[in-house]
Structures are given as structure tokens and as C-alpha cells.
Amino acid sequence: METIIREGSPKTPYVMLDGEKGLIEIKGRSIPENSVEFYKPLIDWLDTYGEDPKDTTTVNVQLEYFNTSSSKCILDIFKKLELIYKKGTKVQINWYYEEDDEDMFEAGEDYQSIINIPFSMFEMEE
Amino acid sequence: MGFDLDKWVLHKMQGEVLLHYVGEITSDKITEALTKIESNLNIKNEKNIIRKKVFNVFVECIQNLFHHVDESPKASDIENKGKFGIIILAKDNSFYRISTGNFVRIDKINIIKDRVDQVNSLSDEEIKSVYRDILGNEDITIKGGGGLGMLDIVRKTGNKLEYSVYTYNKELVFFALDVYIS
């Protein structure tokens, strides 16, 4: 399966979707005006990956900032992962946030409360 | 005496102004503004938590303008004909203030006022719960966060939104919003 790598930009995060390793990483900032345009190809990739996923899929999310327009798209990604998880494969979401960043911690809690999937939060020291 | 835009801008330029933009709100202008804020030494020297909050809330405020402003009046005193908006980031003593201003069609102003009043009427816990409800709801517009913006601002700042509405002409009013980050 094709691996997608997107380098980060001032408004969009670094993204890696590696179908061979079952590894997904989203890092940096996600504040584009048109989030749907940015996330659509990633969601399409997940649809294809979900047809024949690896036994274990690990998802690392380490965002510095994200806007409310991205928040819905990030949830869409998690919902796709939830479908994969429900098929019986292992899926683990790791949500990283900087020490003292209560806003990012709470954002993690929001997702944790909405989706039914193993979701761990990790505080990173500055 | 009608609404005086220049006077309003001047009034909002109190304190130490870190950024001031009057004009068309485009994606490129937003990028420029964000770069300017990030390179501002005062903000760079702030505690991480404040720096991130100011940046995040500024993003919501300016993108709120980008997604929702109406066209400016085609009057000679305001030449922009696109998405005209004003945004000012200032530091007043211990808090940061983000002031935005934009023209709104008279028939739409009550919807906006009701929306802000409703957000302001919620407790911290209610804000959190309504935010989660909307986030988890499928029907969110492509345009933005489906009304999450205002909630997000209040949730992150912990402060109520302050707004004023000024009559501009028969069709338009000027909507001014102040957001405080302490």
C-alpha cells in the first residue's frame, strides 16, 4: 500500500501514513482555512487501508495547535480508525501534548469521550 | 452622525498593539499575520501556555472573519470589496485583547447576536459539554467548525465575548468583538 508523507507547512501538519508498518503520524500544527481539502486524501487512504489493515495500527498524534475546522477532520480520521478497530484488529491512538498544555490535554479528552478505541495520552516535558 | 470606522479603529488601538490589520481577509493575509505574531518578541518571551493560547485564539478569530464576513459596503471610504475585516491584537497590562470588526447584513445580525449571547450564557462545564456534542455531531458545515469557533474561544480564554453593533447604513451594521486572554 502506498505510503503518504506530507511535510509540515506553516498551517498544515507533518503527516505520515505507512500502510506496511501500520503506522500513522500527525505532528505539528493544523490550522488551514480549508481543512476538508487537506484531510480528504488522508481519509480516502484510511478507507483503502481499512479494507486490509495490519494486525496492529499505531497512531501518534502530536499537535502543537489545531483550529476548530481541523478538529472535525481529526475526528473523521479517528472514526475511520474506530471502524478498523471494530473489525477486530488492534488499533492504538497515542495523543501527545506538551507539559502544562491544558487545552491540548482537554482536546485529547474530548476525542477520548467521543470515540470507542484504545486512546492513551502522554505529557511531554518541555 | 453615522458610524466612524477610523474612529473605532483608533479606539481599539489602545495599549501595546502587536498586530493591526484592516482589509481583505484572505488565506495569504492570515498566514502573514500569523507569521508576524509568531516572530513578535513579546509573544516569543511569553510563557508557553500564554503564547499558545494567544496564537490559537487569534487563529479562531481571524478564520471566523475569513469564513463568515459579508462583503464590505461599496462606498468610496472603504475600497475593499472582498471579505473586509479588521483585526487588532493588543496587550493591555496583564491581558491580551483581540478585537475584530466586520460588516454584517442587517438581516443576519440577530442570528449572530443570539449565538454570542447563547455562548456567553453557558457555564464552563456547559461549554465543554456543548463543544463535545457539536464535535461528535456528523452535520458540521464544510465552511468551518460548525459553530465550534466561538465556543472554542470562550473555552480557551475562560472569558465571555464582548460585542457591540453599530448601525452603518440601511443594509449593513458593523459588528465588533473583543476577546480577552488573561
Express each pLDDT in A81-110 by its tens digit. Answer: 999 999 999 999 999 999 989 999 999 999
Q: Residue A90, Cα to own-chain centre: how many angstroms?
A: 15
Residue of B nearest to A103 (CA): B156
Cell of A26: 500527525
Cell of B117: 449571547
Q: Find which of B39, B59, B68 to mutate to test the A interface (most A CBs within 10 Å of its CB).
A: B59
> How many domains is chain A partitioned into structurally?
1
Q: What pLDDT, on a 0 to 100 scale, did the predictor assign at position A17?
A: 97
Give the closest of A67, A72, A114 to B59, CB-based: A67
Give the closest of A10, A72, A100 to B48, CB-based: A100
Dihedral of the alpha carbons of A92, A97, A99, A103, in degrees to the nearest 10: -130
Q: Are strands A14-18 and A4-6 parallel, antiparallel or unpaired?
A: antiparallel
For chain B, list the domains and their CATH numbers. Answer: 5-181 (3.30.565.10)
Distance from CA of B7 to the nearest CA of A (A): 30
- Residues A103, B56: C-beta atoms closer than 8 Å: yes
Q: What is the CATH number of the domain that holds A41?
A: 3.30.750
Q: What pLDDT, on a 0 to 100 scale, did the predictor assign at position B117?
A: 94
Question: Which residue reads 470589496 in cell numbers?
Answer: B81
Tally of helices (H runs) and strands (E runs) in chain B: 7, 5
- Residues B135, A98: C-beta atoms closer than 8 Å: no
- Residues A31, B59: C-beta atoms closer than 8 Å: yes
Rg of chain B in Å (alpha carbons): 16
Q: What pLDDT, on a 0 to 100 scale, did the predictor assign at position B69?
A: 80
Cβ-Cβ contacts under 8 Å for B77 (sequence gap 6 or more): B5
CA B62, B63, B67, B68 torsion-angle sign: negative
Q: How many Cβ contacts (< 8 angstroms) between chains A and B?
A: 64
ipTM rounded to 2 decimals: 0.91
Q: What pLDDT, on a 0 to 100 scale, did the predictor assign at position B10?
A: 94
Question: Containing domain of residue A84, as a range?
Answer: 4-124
What are the average pLDDT values for consecutive 10-residue runs of chain B, which has 182 residues? 87 93 93 93 83 94 88 59 88 92 92 93 94 80 65 95 93 94 91
Residue of B nearest to A67 (CA): B60
Angle between helices B124-136 and A102-114 (to 10 degrees): 50
Query: For chain B, how many residues are written?
Result: 182
